[in-house]
């Protein structure tokens, strides 16, 4: 049994894991950089270890420092949160080599899904629908042009090792292919050390729909429906909801079963998210994330489950605490990501919080590591809180979001709260009528977003 978990992360997600552990009677160890000595996750954990200086390569990304912290404190398991080392296969391998438990999937599954071509091939073989495109890597421009002719323009050229929106280029016609192909290759090489690229059809007005899956590592897996995360700025999600306003119960059951069956077949363990573009009633796989997602709370809200608790259970070799039939949707949930950023350009805005008041009441969850007097360091992600609301239906969730945003006080730094207040005035948002381009267009028209 796991008695002590080290949380290899910071901020709200570190608190999230510490809270689940505490409810299970498990001790927690926080790790932190020198810039985070006063951080909430350090205060809230049972023990803490300083693992290095402020820059994350020397602290939150330092595998030797994290393993040493486990040895010093006697933690038997590591939860990676999201970001940092959460999808690093060699980290998982090293953890296992040290006789420790990684709370997440196997190194092999992380490796497969971390390479987009291998991920797509694997998913296709498992019966998951994919975007039409090249079969695997495209070696040269001539082949890319041939595929462009076959599938029809526009196409998108993607670096197999890409991530975070880097290494992707759209070609609207054959004459744009050359520069798009070369740029995607060059970005893959310089950002990820791998210049292999592939080509797929560029969908014009899709929604981003992702399916939450969960496996026990022994061939049993379930799905927990979808999240619609189409509202994105520069490929970063800002507003997520479950269930998706455009997805019917029949579609959910169909794609959900395909996803659950696929991960069951590979004995997947823990939480995973299969991301799709959704257009004209069809789902097209784009990638799988082998970790807990930032937006997991909307799924927790509508299904009434604790996904971190389940991750810990299956890492201990226990079965999941629910079956597919137990998982029934209750109402609707929305999450907004509150970043310390200055509008209209979303420039990071670290600094000291002079006043903080979290909203509360029925159906409101605020996941945040803020407190009065806390200084947000400039070294890390600008996410400072996630406000999650849950209602009996979407309309109630929207009204609750409006009410909760009104109660929230974050003084001392600029935040993205005004963006959400403005979005709640838009009919398209109120009606759930948006796709992956909606927010960029709205920002261009309303915020002079540079
Ligand atoms: P990353 O790993 O960099 O996040 P993804 O493959 O997940 O890359 O794609 C990120 C975003 O790029 C998607 O959410 C979507 O907005 C856009 N995108 C990716 N593939 C396509 C496609 N075939 N057609 C249209 N848009 C796409």
Whether 257 is in the pocket of ligand 1, judged by its Cβ within 6 Å, is no
CB 17 within 8 A of CB 5: yes
**Segment 9-31 mean pLDDT:** 98
Non-local (6+) Cβ contacts of 270 within 8 A are: 103, 104, 105, 214, 215, 217, 290, 310, 311, 314, 315
Ligand 1 atom index nearest CA of 436: 16
Range(s) of the chain covered by CATH 3.30.1490.20: 132-201
CA of 202 to the centre of ligand 1 (A): 9
- Percentage of residues of the chain with pLDDT beyond 70: 99
Q: How many CB atoms lie within 10 A of CB 173?
A: 10
**Segment 403-428 mean pLDDT:** 98
Tell me the pTM: 0.96
Architecture of the domain whose range is 207-446: 2-Layer Sandwich (3.30)
Whether 133 is in the pocket of ligand 1, judged by its Cβ within 6 Å, is no
**Segment 222-248 mean pLDDT:** 97
* Per-chain mean pLDDT for the chain: 97
392 is a catalytic site residue: no
In this prediction, residue 344 carries a pLDDT of 94
**Predicted confidence (pLDDT) at residue 166 exceeds the cutoff of 90:** no
pLDDT for 145-160, tens place per residue? 999 999 999 999 999 9
Using 50, 70 and 90 to split pLDDT, how confident is the model at 449? Answer: low
Pick from 108, 86, 68: which is nearest to 8 by CA?
Answer: 86
Residue 149 and residue 146: Cα distance in Å, rounded?
5
Tokens 């079965």 sit on residue: 319
Non-local (6+) Cβ contacts of 5 within 8 A are: 17, 21, 26, 27, 28, 29, 75, 76, 77, 78, 79, 103, 312
**Segment 2-17 mean pLDDT:** 98
**Predicted confidence (pLDDT) at residue 217 exceeds the cutoff of 70:** yes
In CATH terms, the superfamily for domain 132-201 is ATP-grasp fold, A domain (3.30.1490.20)
**Predicted confidence (pLDDT) at residue 450 exceeds the cutoff of 80:** no
User: What CATH number should be reported for the domain whose range is 4-101?
Assistant: 3.40.50.20
In this prediction, residue 193 carries a pLDDT of 93
Tokens 């689940």 sit on residue: 20
Q: Is 40 left (phi over 0), alpha (psi -120 to 50) or beta?
A: alpha
In this prediction, residue 163 carries a pLDDT of 84
pLDDT for 57-67, tens place per residue? 999 999 999 99
Whether 187 is in the pocket of ligand 1, judged by its Cβ within 6 Å, is no
Residue 158 and residue 133: Cα distance in Å, rounded?
11
- Single out the catalytic residue among 291, 313, 365, 400: 291
Whether 156 is in the pocket of ligand 1, judged by its Cβ within 6 Å, is yes
Q: Output the residue whose Cα is nearest ligand 1's atom 2.
A: 163
């Amino acid at each position: 049994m796991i008695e002590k978990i080290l949380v290899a992360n910071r901020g709200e997600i570190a608190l999230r894991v510490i809270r689940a552990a505490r409810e299970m009677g498990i001790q927690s160890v926080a790790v932190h950089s020198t810039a985070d000595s006063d951080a909430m996750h350090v205060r809230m954990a049972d023990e803490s270890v300083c693992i290095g200086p402020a820059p994350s390569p020397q602290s939150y990304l330092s595998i030797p420092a994290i393993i040493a912290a486990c040895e010093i404190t006697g933690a038997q398991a590591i939860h990676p949160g999201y970001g940092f080392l959460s999808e690093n296969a060699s980290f998982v391998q090293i953890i296992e080599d040290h006789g420790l438990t990684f709370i997440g999937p196997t190194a092999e599954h992380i490796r497969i899904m971390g390479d987009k071509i291998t991920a797509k091939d694997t998913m296709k073989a498992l019966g998951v629908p994919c975007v039409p495109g090249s079969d695997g890597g495209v070696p040269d421009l001539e082949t890319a042009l041939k595929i462009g002719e076959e599938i029809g323009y526009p196409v998108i050229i993607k670096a197999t090792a890409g991530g975070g929106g880097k290494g992707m280029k759209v070609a609207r016609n054959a004459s744009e292919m050359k520069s798009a192909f070369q740029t995607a290759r060059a970005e893959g090489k310089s950002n990820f050390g791998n210049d292999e690229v592939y080509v797929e059809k560029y969908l014009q007005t899709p929604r981003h729909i992702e399916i939450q899956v969960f496996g026990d590592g022994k061939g049993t897996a379930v799905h927990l429906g979808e999240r619609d995360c189409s509202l994105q700025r520069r490929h970063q999600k800002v507003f997520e909801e479950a269930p998706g306003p455009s997805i019917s119960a029949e579609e959910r059951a169909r794609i959900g079963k395909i996803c659950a069956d696929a991960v069951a077949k590979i004995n997947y363990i823990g939480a995973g998210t299969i991301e799709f573009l959704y257009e004209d009633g069809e789902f097209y796989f784009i990638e799988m994330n082998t970790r807990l997602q930032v937006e997991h709370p909307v799924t927790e809200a509508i299904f009434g489950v604790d996904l971190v608790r389940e991750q810990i259970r299956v890492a201990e070799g226990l079965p999941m605490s629910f079956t597919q039939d137990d998982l029934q949707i209750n109402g609707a949930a929305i999450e907004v990501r509150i970043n310390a950023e200055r509008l209209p350009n979303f420039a990071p805005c670290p600094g000291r919080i002079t006043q903080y008041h979290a909203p509360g009441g029925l159906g409101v969850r605020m996941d945040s590591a803020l407190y009065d007097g806390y200084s947000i360091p400039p070294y890390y992600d600008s996410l400072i809180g996630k406000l999650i609301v849950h209602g009996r239906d979407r309309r109630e969730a929207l009204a609750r979001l409006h009410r909760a945003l009104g109660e929230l006080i974050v003084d001392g730094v600029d935040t993205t709260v005004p963006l959400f207040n403005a979005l709640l005035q838009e009919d398209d948002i109120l009606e759930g009528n948006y796709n992956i381009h909606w927010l960029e267009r709205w920002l261009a028209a309303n915020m002079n977003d540079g």
